[in-house]
Chains A and B, each alone.
Chain A
Amino acid sequence: MAIKIMKNFFTRIFFNLFKSKKNIKMGFYGPPNAGKTSLANRICKDFTGEEIGSVSKIPHETRNVQFKEEVEIDYKGKKMTFKMIDTPGIATKIDYEDFLKYKMKKSESKKRAKEATQGVIESIKWLDDMDVVVVVLDSTENPYNQVNITIIGNLAARKIPVLIVANKIDMKKSDIKRIEAAFPEYDIVGLSAKYGTNLEEFYESIFKLAKKI
Protein backbone atom coordinates (compact mmCIF):
# COMPACT_ATOMS: atom_id res chain seq x y z
CA MET A 1 0.00 0.00 0.00
CA ALA A 2 2.74 2.41 1.07
CA ILE A 3 4.69 1.58 -2.05
CA LYS A 4 1.63 2.30 -4.21
CA ILE A 5 1.08 5.68 -2.53
CA MET A 6 4.74 6.58 -3.00
CA LYS A 7 4.57 5.47 -6.64
CA ASN A 8 1.48 7.62 -7.28
CA PHE A 9 3.13 10.57 -5.54
CA PHE A 10 6.23 10.40 -7.72
CA THR A 11 4.17 9.80 -10.88
CA ARG A 12 2.13 12.93 -10.10
CA ILE A 13 5.25 15.02 -9.46
CA PHE A 14 6.84 13.73 -12.65
CA PHE A 15 3.63 14.36 -14.63
CA ASN A 16 3.31 17.94 -13.35
CA LEU A 17 6.97 18.59 -14.08
CA PHE A 18 6.52 17.29 -17.60
CA LYS A 19 3.18 19.05 -18.06
CA SER A 20 4.65 22.42 -17.14
CA LYS A 21 7.23 21.97 -19.91
CA LYS A 22 4.72 21.00 -22.56
CA ASN A 23 4.06 23.11 -25.62
CA ILE A 24 6.51 25.82 -24.69
CA LYS A 25 5.98 28.78 -26.98
CA MET A 26 9.30 29.37 -28.74
CA GLY A 27 9.48 32.49 -30.86
CA PHE A 28 12.00 33.21 -33.60
CA TYR A 29 12.79 36.90 -33.73
CA GLY A 30 15.32 39.04 -35.53
CA PRO A 31 15.92 41.43 -38.40
CA PRO A 32 14.86 40.46 -41.96
CA ASN A 33 16.98 37.89 -43.80
CA ALA A 34 18.82 36.66 -40.70
CA GLY A 35 17.56 33.10 -41.25
CA LYS A 36 14.68 32.78 -38.76
CA THR A 37 12.54 30.67 -41.08
CA SER A 38 15.54 28.63 -42.25
CA LEU A 39 16.31 27.68 -38.65
CA ALA A 40 12.66 27.03 -37.75
CA ASN A 41 12.36 24.90 -40.92
CA ARG A 42 15.46 22.92 -40.02
CA ILE A 43 14.07 22.09 -36.54
CA CYS A 44 10.54 21.35 -37.78
CA LYS A 45 11.86 19.14 -40.56
CA ASP A 46 14.14 17.24 -38.17
CA PHE A 47 11.32 16.46 -35.75
CA THR A 48 8.06 16.59 -37.73
CA GLY A 49 9.18 16.09 -41.32
CA GLU A 50 7.44 19.31 -42.37
CA GLU A 51 8.62 22.87 -42.86
CA ILE A 52 7.06 25.96 -41.28
CA GLY A 53 7.40 28.45 -44.17
CA SER A 54 9.11 29.44 -47.37
CA VAL A 55 12.51 31.13 -47.54
CA SER A 56 13.89 33.58 -50.06
CA LYS A 57 16.85 35.86 -50.71
CA ILE A 58 14.40 38.73 -51.01
CA PRO A 59 13.91 40.37 -47.61
CA HIS A 60 10.52 40.14 -45.86
CA GLU A 61 9.62 36.74 -47.28
CA THR A 62 7.83 35.99 -44.00
CA ARG A 63 5.09 38.57 -43.67
CA ASN A 64 2.76 36.73 -41.33
CA VAL A 65 3.40 34.98 -38.05
CA GLN A 66 3.66 31.24 -38.77
CA PHE A 67 3.13 28.36 -36.34
CA LYS A 68 3.92 24.74 -35.93
CA GLU A 69 2.16 23.10 -33.01
CA GLU A 70 3.53 20.25 -30.91
CA VAL A 71 7.07 19.97 -32.18
CA GLU A 72 8.69 17.40 -29.92
CA ILE A 73 12.43 17.93 -29.79
CA ASP A 74 14.15 14.72 -28.82
CA TYR A 75 17.79 15.29 -28.01
CA LYS A 76 20.07 12.82 -26.21
CA GLY A 77 17.10 11.07 -24.64
CA LYS A 78 15.55 14.31 -23.37
CA LYS A 79 12.23 15.36 -24.84
CA MET A 80 10.40 18.67 -24.84
CA THR A 81 7.40 19.81 -26.83
CA PHE A 82 7.33 23.26 -28.33
CA LYS A 83 4.92 25.44 -30.21
CA MET A 84 7.18 27.06 -32.78
CA ILE A 85 6.36 30.63 -33.73
CA ASP A 86 8.22 32.09 -36.68
CA THR A 87 7.82 35.86 -36.93
CA PRO A 88 8.36 38.39 -39.73
CA GLY A 89 11.67 40.27 -39.54
CA ILE A 90 11.57 43.50 -37.58
CA ALA A 91 12.77 46.61 -39.41
CA THR A 92 12.54 50.36 -38.88
CA LYS A 93 12.19 51.14 -42.59
CA ILE A 94 10.62 49.45 -45.58
CA ASP A 95 10.98 50.82 -49.08
CA TYR A 96 9.23 49.07 -51.95
CA GLU A 97 12.02 50.23 -54.29
CA ASP A 98 14.40 47.86 -52.50
CA PHE A 99 12.38 44.92 -53.86
CA LEU A 100 12.66 46.20 -57.44
CA LYS A 101 16.37 45.26 -57.31
CA TYR A 102 15.22 41.63 -57.17
CA LYS A 103 13.40 42.10 -60.47
CA MET A 104 9.99 42.28 -58.87
CA LYS A 105 7.23 44.23 -60.59
CA LYS A 106 6.38 47.62 -59.11
CA SER A 107 2.87 46.56 -58.08
CA GLU A 108 4.19 43.35 -56.56
CA SER A 109 6.90 45.28 -54.68
CA LYS A 110 4.40 47.76 -53.30
CA LYS A 111 2.17 44.92 -52.14
CA ARG A 112 5.11 43.17 -50.50
CA ALA A 113 6.15 46.39 -48.72
CA LYS A 114 2.61 46.95 -47.45
CA GLU A 115 2.37 43.41 -46.15
CA ALA A 116 5.84 43.67 -44.60
CA THR A 117 4.88 46.76 -42.56
CA GLN A 118 1.90 44.83 -41.21
CA GLY A 119 4.17 41.86 -40.50
CA VAL A 120 6.50 43.98 -38.34
CA ILE A 121 3.54 45.22 -36.29
CA GLU A 122 2.31 41.64 -35.89
CA SER A 123 5.75 40.45 -34.73
CA ILE A 124 5.91 43.11 -32.04
CA LYS A 125 2.36 42.35 -30.86
CA TRP A 126 3.36 38.70 -30.35
CA LEU A 127 6.31 39.52 -28.08
CA ASP A 128 4.20 39.28 -24.94
CA ASP A 129 2.99 35.76 -25.77
CA MET A 130 6.37 34.03 -25.91
CA ASP A 131 7.77 31.68 -23.27
CA VAL A 132 11.28 31.64 -24.75
CA VAL A 133 12.75 33.50 -27.70
CA VAL A 134 15.50 32.64 -30.12
CA VAL A 135 16.93 35.86 -31.54
CA VAL A 136 18.44 34.99 -34.90
CA LEU A 137 21.19 37.31 -36.09
CA ASP A 138 23.18 37.22 -39.30
CA SER A 139 26.78 36.76 -38.10
CA THR A 140 28.11 38.47 -41.25
CA GLU A 141 26.34 41.72 -40.30
CA ASN A 142 27.11 44.40 -37.70
CA PRO A 143 25.30 43.29 -34.52
CA TYR A 144 25.04 46.85 -33.17
CA ASN A 145 21.93 47.37 -35.21
CA GLN A 146 19.27 49.17 -33.18
CA VAL A 147 16.62 46.61 -34.17
CA ASN A 148 18.65 43.86 -32.46
CA ILE A 149 19.14 46.00 -29.37
CA THR A 150 15.45 46.95 -29.26
CA ILE A 151 14.27 43.33 -29.58
CA ILE A 152 16.65 42.05 -26.90
CA GLY A 153 15.92 45.05 -24.64
CA ASN A 154 12.20 44.35 -24.88
CA LEU A 155 12.62 40.67 -24.09
CA ALA A 156 14.79 41.55 -21.08
CA ALA A 157 12.16 44.04 -19.87
CA ARG A 158 9.51 41.31 -20.18
CA LYS A 159 11.81 38.78 -18.45
CA ILE A 160 11.51 36.33 -21.35
CA PRO A 161 14.50 33.93 -21.59
CA VAL A 162 16.59 34.60 -24.70
CA LEU A 163 19.03 32.59 -26.74
CA ILE A 164 20.98 34.42 -29.42
CA VAL A 165 21.82 32.49 -32.56
CA ALA A 166 24.69 33.71 -34.71
CA ASN A 167 23.54 32.27 -38.03
CA LYS A 168 25.41 31.87 -41.34
CA ILE A 169 28.69 30.67 -39.78
CA ASP A 170 29.36 28.92 -43.08
CA MET A 171 30.05 32.29 -44.68
CA LYS A 172 33.51 33.87 -44.90
CA LYS A 173 32.47 37.17 -43.37
CA SER A 174 30.90 35.47 -40.35
CA ASP A 175 32.13 36.88 -37.02
CA ILE A 176 30.60 35.37 -33.87
CA LYS A 177 33.02 37.23 -31.60
CA ARG A 178 31.51 40.53 -32.66
CA ILE A 179 28.07 39.29 -31.53
CA GLU A 180 29.52 37.98 -28.27
CA ALA A 181 31.11 41.38 -27.63
CA ALA A 182 27.84 43.16 -28.35
CA PHE A 183 25.73 40.95 -26.07
CA PRO A 184 28.11 39.65 -23.38
CA GLU A 185 25.37 38.70 -20.92
CA TYR A 186 23.64 36.25 -23.30
CA ASP A 187 24.26 32.69 -24.43
CA ILE A 188 25.26 32.73 -28.09
CA VAL A 189 25.25 29.72 -30.38
CA GLY A 190 26.91 29.93 -33.77
CA LEU A 191 25.33 27.75 -36.44
CA SER A 192 24.41 27.43 -40.06
CA ALA A 193 20.67 26.85 -40.49
CA LYS A 194 21.24 26.31 -44.20
CA TYR A 195 23.66 23.41 -43.74
CA GLY A 196 22.53 22.25 -40.29
CA THR A 197 25.93 22.90 -38.72
CA ASN A 198 26.19 22.92 -34.90
CA LEU A 199 22.54 22.14 -34.29
CA GLU A 200 23.58 19.94 -31.31
CA GLU A 201 24.78 22.94 -29.32
CA PHE A 202 21.59 24.74 -30.27
CA TYR A 203 19.35 21.94 -28.93
CA GLU A 204 21.43 21.73 -25.76
CA SER A 205 21.00 25.48 -25.22
CA ILE A 206 17.27 25.34 -25.96
CA PHE A 207 16.77 22.72 -23.24
CA LYS A 208 18.74 24.90 -20.80
CA LEU A 209 16.71 27.94 -21.83
CA ALA A 210 13.37 26.15 -21.36
CA LYS A 211 14.34 25.35 -17.78
CA LYS A 212 14.43 29.10 -17.05
CA ILE A 213 10.68 29.48 -17.56
Chain B
Amino acid sequence: MKKGVGKLKGFTINFLPFSEIKSLDSTKRIRKVLDIILDNNILILQGRLKPEEETRLIEDTMAMIRHVKNFKGVELAVISGNENDGFFGKMKMGLANAISGSDFGAITIIGPATIVREIKRNPKKIELFLNR
Protein backbone atom coordinates (compact mmCIF):
# COMPACT_ATOMS: atom_id res chain seq x y z
CA MET B 1 0.00 0.00 0.00
CA LYS B 2 1.25 3.48 -0.88
CA LYS B 3 2.51 5.76 1.84
CA GLY B 4 0.24 8.72 2.40
CA VAL B 5 -2.93 6.76 3.04
CA GLY B 6 -1.91 7.08 6.66
CA LYS B 7 -2.81 10.76 6.48
CA LEU B 8 -6.36 9.74 7.18
CA LYS B 9 -5.40 8.33 10.60
CA GLY B 10 -6.76 10.03 13.67
CA PHE B 11 -10.42 9.20 13.53
CA THR B 12 -12.73 6.25 13.30
CA ILE B 13 -16.09 5.71 11.78
CA ASN B 14 -18.71 4.69 14.30
CA PHE B 15 -21.90 2.98 13.30
CA LEU B 16 -24.78 3.51 15.68
CA PRO B 17 -27.86 1.35 15.21
CA PHE B 18 -31.07 3.16 16.02
CA SER B 19 -31.84 0.60 18.71
CA GLU B 20 -29.01 2.15 20.77
CA ILE B 21 -30.77 5.51 21.01
CA LYS B 22 -34.37 4.43 20.60
CA SER B 23 -35.18 4.43 24.30
CA LEU B 24 -33.28 7.67 25.04
CA ASP B 25 -35.01 11.03 25.37
CA SER B 26 -33.94 13.85 23.01
CA THR B 27 -31.41 15.36 25.45
CA LYS B 28 -29.65 12.03 25.97
CA ARG B 29 -29.76 11.20 22.26
CA ILE B 30 -28.03 14.43 21.34
CA ARG B 31 -25.55 14.03 24.16
CA LYS B 32 -24.66 10.56 22.89
CA VAL B 33 -24.24 11.81 19.32
CA LEU B 34 -22.09 14.76 20.40
CA ASP B 35 -19.94 12.59 22.69
CA ILE B 36 -19.06 10.42 19.70
CA ILE B 37 -18.26 13.48 17.56
CA LEU B 38 -16.17 15.12 20.28
CA ASP B 39 -14.06 11.96 20.38
CA ASN B 40 -13.06 12.75 16.76
CA ASN B 41 -15.26 10.09 15.22
CA ILE B 42 -17.45 10.22 12.17
CA LEU B 43 -20.84 8.88 13.12
CA ILE B 44 -23.07 6.89 10.83
CA LEU B 45 -26.47 6.69 12.45
CA GLN B 46 -29.17 4.32 11.33
CA GLY B 47 -32.30 6.41 10.83
CA ARG B 48 -32.52 10.10 11.53
CA LEU B 49 -33.17 12.49 14.35
CA LYS B 50 -36.51 14.28 14.60
CA PRO B 51 -36.53 17.82 13.10
CA GLU B 52 -36.57 19.39 16.56
CA GLU B 53 -33.67 17.15 17.60
CA GLU B 54 -31.70 18.30 14.57
CA THR B 55 -32.11 21.95 15.57
CA ARG B 56 -31.29 21.05 19.16
CA LEU B 57 -28.13 19.36 17.90
CA ILE B 58 -27.20 22.58 16.06
CA GLU B 59 -27.89 24.68 19.16
CA ASP B 60 -25.77 22.40 21.38
CA THR B 61 -23.03 22.35 18.74
CA MET B 62 -22.93 26.16 18.72
CA ALA B 63 -22.73 26.27 22.51
CA MET B 64 -19.86 23.76 22.43
CA ILE B 65 -17.86 25.75 19.86
CA ARG B 66 -17.60 28.45 22.49
CA HIS B 67 -16.67 26.09 25.29
CA VAL B 68 -14.63 23.23 23.80
CA LYS B 69 -11.15 24.08 22.56
CA ASN B 70 -10.51 23.41 18.86
CA PHE B 71 -14.09 22.32 18.26
CA LYS B 72 -15.45 24.12 15.20
CA GLY B 73 -18.79 22.43 14.78
CA VAL B 74 -20.10 19.56 12.73
CA GLU B 75 -20.83 18.57 9.18
CA LEU B 76 -24.12 16.79 8.88
CA ALA B 77 -26.13 15.08 6.15
CA VAL B 78 -29.14 12.82 6.03
CA ILE B 79 -29.93 10.63 3.08
CA SER B 80 -33.41 9.23 3.06
CA GLY B 81 -34.48 6.12 1.19
CA ASN B 82 -38.07 7.22 0.71
CA GLU B 83 -37.67 10.67 -0.84
CA ASN B 84 -39.32 9.67 -4.10
CA ASP B 85 -42.11 7.55 -2.70
CA GLY B 86 -44.85 10.08 -3.39
CA PHE B 87 -47.56 11.22 -1.05
CA PHE B 88 -49.07 7.83 -0.11
CA GLY B 89 -45.70 6.20 0.24
CA LYS B 90 -44.59 8.98 2.54
CA MET B 91 -47.83 8.69 4.51
CA LYS B 92 -47.29 4.97 4.97
CA MET B 93 -43.68 5.54 5.98
CA GLY B 94 -44.74 8.44 8.18
CA LEU B 95 -47.05 6.19 10.13
CA ALA B 96 -44.44 3.46 10.42
CA ASN B 97 -41.86 6.01 11.52
CA ALA B 98 -44.24 7.56 14.00
CA ILE B 99 -44.68 4.14 15.60
CA SER B 100 -41.00 3.25 15.57
CA GLY B 101 -39.69 6.74 16.33
CA SER B 102 -37.52 7.30 13.28
CA ASP B 103 -37.06 6.85 9.53
CA PHE B 104 -35.19 3.55 9.25
CA GLY B 105 -34.74 4.04 5.52
CA ALA B 106 -32.54 7.04 6.27
CA ILE B 107 -28.87 7.26 7.16
CA THR B 108 -27.43 10.20 9.06
CA ILE B 109 -23.76 11.08 8.77
CA ILE B 110 -22.26 13.49 11.27
CA GLY B 111 -18.61 14.37 11.59
CA PRO B 112 -16.54 16.97 13.39
CA ALA B 113 -15.80 19.94 11.11
CA THR B 114 -12.09 19.62 11.92
CA ILE B 115 -12.09 16.24 10.12
CA VAL B 116 -14.96 16.51 7.65
CA ARG B 117 -14.51 19.60 5.51
CA GLU B 118 -17.70 19.17 3.54
CA ILE B 119 -20.47 16.70 2.91
CA LYS B 120 -21.95 17.07 -0.53
CA ARG B 121 -25.21 15.33 -1.15
CA ASN B 122 -27.82 14.92 -3.78
CA PRO B 123 -30.87 12.68 -3.48
CA LYS B 124 -28.91 9.53 -4.25
CA LYS B 125 -25.41 9.97 -2.97
CA ILE B 126 -23.32 11.49 -0.24
CA GLU B 127 -19.70 12.53 -0.72
CA LEU B 128 -17.46 13.21 2.24
CA PHE B 129 -14.54 15.58 1.77
CA LEU B 130 -12.00 15.31 4.54
CA ASN B 131 -9.57 17.88 5.87
CA ARG B 132 -5.98 16.90 5.41
A-B residue pair count with CB separations less than 8 angstroms: 72
How far apart are B117's CB and chain A's nearest CB, in angstroms?
A: 10
Across the interface, name the chain A residue whose C-beta is closest to B60. A121
Complex-state Cα separation, A150 to B55, whole angstroms: 7
Q: Does B23 contact A (CB under 8 A)?
A: no
Say whether, besides A92-B58, A93-B72, A95-B113, A144 and B121 are in contact (CB < 8 Å): yes
Among A43-51, A77-85, A111-119, A192-200, the stretch in contact with B: A111-119
Q: Find chain A residues with CB under 8 A from B74 CB.
A: 92-93
Say whether, besides A144-B123, A146-B76, A149-B78, A94 and B65 are in contact (CB < 8 Å): yes
Tell which of B52, B73, B75 touches A157, judged by Cβ atoms closer than 8 Å.
B52
Name the residue in A125, A127, A154 with the highest tally of chain B Cβ atoms < 10 Å from its Cβ.
A154
Across the interface, name the chain B residue whose C-beta is closest to A91. B73
Say whether, besides A93-B72, A93-B113, A127 and B55 are in contact (CB < 8 Å): yes
- Encoded as 1 (CB less than 8 Å from any A CB) or 0, chain B from 18 to 56 comes to 000000000000000000000000000000001110110
Contact B51 A117, beta carbon cutoff 8 Å: no
Contact A120 B51, beta carbon cutoff 8 Å: no
Q: Find chain A residues with CB under 8 A from B73 CB.
A: 91-95
Q: Does A13 contact B (CB under 8 A)?
A: no
How far apart are A148's CB and chain B's nearest CB, in angstroms?
A: 11
Contact B51 A153, beta carbon cutoff 8 Å: yes
Q: Find chain A residues with CB under 8 A from B113 CB.
A: 92-93, 95
Name the residue in A114, A121, A125 with the highest tally of chain B Cβ atoms < 10 Å from its Cβ.
A121
Say whether, besides A144-B122, A156-B51, A157-B51, A150 and B72 are in contact (CB < 8 Å): no
Which residues of A come within 8 Å of B, CB atoms?
Answer: 90-95, 113-114, 117-118, 120-121, 124-125, 127, 142, 144, 146-147, 149-150, 153-154, 156-157, 182
